[in-house]
Amino acid sequence: MARFNKGDICSCVIDYEYGAGAKARPVVFWDNWDEAANRPTVLVIPLTSVSHKTKYQPSLEIPRTAENNLSEVSVLKLYQFACVSKNNLGHKIGHLDDGQMEEIESQLRKHFKSLY
């Protein structure tokens, strides 16, 4: 099984979306691999290429870069933070840059603070 770092973009089957027929989609790995060593699940944030998804908040547009290796501009669906089986993780696609990581952290802090 591949090892991922927080901020890695990888393929993942998220079966809660489409059941047994789900296909691998890009996600951002948002966990600590060492801390998750004894857990069967990890946290991920789904990506989509459907640009109108930015109307749902919180979300973040991710431009295509050499570092993230995305095929097109994508939307990080922070509102769909997910817990998935490690067995559903596929191959590494790329990695988010430091600025994107900081923006995600900021949006998550703001969003989760508003829930309490």
Average pLDDT estimate for 49-72: 85
More confident site: 56 or 6:
6
Query: What is the distance in angstroms between the CA of the first residue and the CA of the last residue of the chain?
Result: 37
Average pLDDT estimate for 30-54: 88
More confident site: 18 or 92:
92
How far apart (Å, rounded) are the C-alpha atoms in residues 47 and 19?
A: 18
pLDDT, residue 111, reads 82
pLDDT, residue 14, reads 86
Q: What is the mean pLDDT of the chain?
A: 88
Domains of the chain in sequence order: 8-114 (2.30.30.110)
| 116, 86 Cβ separation under 8 angstroms | no
Q: What angle do CA 48, 96, 5 make, to 5 degrees?
A: 105
pLDDT, residue 115, reads 65
